[in-house]
Amino acid sequence: LAKTTQPISMDSYEGQEVNITCSHNNIATNDYITWYQQFPSQGPRFIIQGYKTKVTNEVASLFIPADRKSSTLSLPRVSLSDTAVYYCLVGPALSGGYNKLIFGAGTRLAVHP
Amino acid sequence: NAGVTQTPKFQVLKTGQSMTLQCAQDMNHNSMYWYRQDPGMGLRLIYYSASEGTTDKGEVPNGYNVSRLNKREFSLRLESAAPSQTSVYFCASSMYNVGDPNEKLFFGSGTQLSVL
């Protein structure tokens, strides 16, 4: 199983850029990296997905170094509404059935006024 | 589009009672999943279904059964509820096949279940 390690919690202030790093040292060649966001009392919501280098969409950017052993989710100019739990998922391995569908504890981001 | 709809939103059971959590998606997705989330923890996969008529165990299947009734619906049944099954249950679906590199999950809003 490709396991991930993320900080348990982070604090930021409105207007700042927030970077959340996920470590996945045993990522397999065919694994993709996917990030989800979860607000209280809601199901997780897909944010961004990438394989290598940089991916950007209207919500966030995802930076993946050449060795792919880590990835960084970047949220530009956060607001109070970005307060949520962020999950990093890695997978699937070729031999895996549901490896990619395993969520860790995530990173709890608190944005302050 | 409603997306993924779960019913009920809240449920209280006594130990030993049975119940079925319903899930339906209107996105014509092939894959569907059931997760549970306990306080302060991530989601744990209970069962999944790669296509109509097929189901497979996930990380924590004990105490649960599932039925993929058709392409739209995937139900989760607790035959004899236990306090350890108190949790928030999420259903999800994906247009891609289970394990596909591009897989993206769409979640319902959850069912909060308490077993006394």
A101 and B107: CB-CB below 8 Å? Answer: no
B101 and A103: CB-CB below 8 Å? Answer: no
Label residue A35 by pLDDT band (50, 70, 90).
very high
pLDDT attached to residue A96: 46
Least confident of A28-32, A43-47, A85-89, B99-103: B99-103
Q: Which residues of A touch B103 (CB under 8 A)?
A: 34, 92, 100-101
The string of pLDDT tens digits covering residues A45-59 is 999 999 999 999 999
Least confident of A75-84, B15-24, B32-41, B70-79: B32-41
Write down the number of H helices and E strands in chain A. 0, 9
Average pLDDT across chain B, whole number? 92
SS3 A99: helix
CB-based contact, B59 to chain A, within 8 Å: yes
pLDDT at A97 over 60: no
pLDDT attached to residue A3: 79
Do A92 and A29 meet the contact criterion of CB atoms below 8 Å apart?
no
Interface of B with A in 14-53 (CB under 8 A): 33, 35, 40-45, 48
- Average pLDDT (A73-100) is 80
CB-based contact, B66 to chain A, within 8 Å: no
pLDDT attached to residue A93: 45
Q: Which residues of A touch B105 (CB under 8 A)?
A: 36, 44, 46, 101
Label residue A101 by pLDDT band (50, 70, 90).
low
The string of pLDDT tens digits covering residues B88-116 is 999 999 887 766 767 788 999 999 999 99
Average pLDDT across chain A, whole number? 88
pLDDT attached to residue A2: 57
pLDDT at A100 over 80: no
Express as a percent the part of chain A with pLDDT over 70: 89
pLDDT at B57 over 70: yes
SS3 A51: coil
Does the CA dihedral A90-A92-A96-A100 come out positive or negative? positive
Alpha-carbon distances, residue A17 vs A36, A84, B1, B114 (angstroms): 18, 15, 33, 39
Q: Which of A40-44, B9-13, B103-107 has the highest mean pLDDT?
A: B9-13
Do B106 and B29 meet the contact criterion of CB atoms below 8 Å apart?
yes
- Average pLDDT (A31-55) is 92
pLDDT attached to residue A55: 94
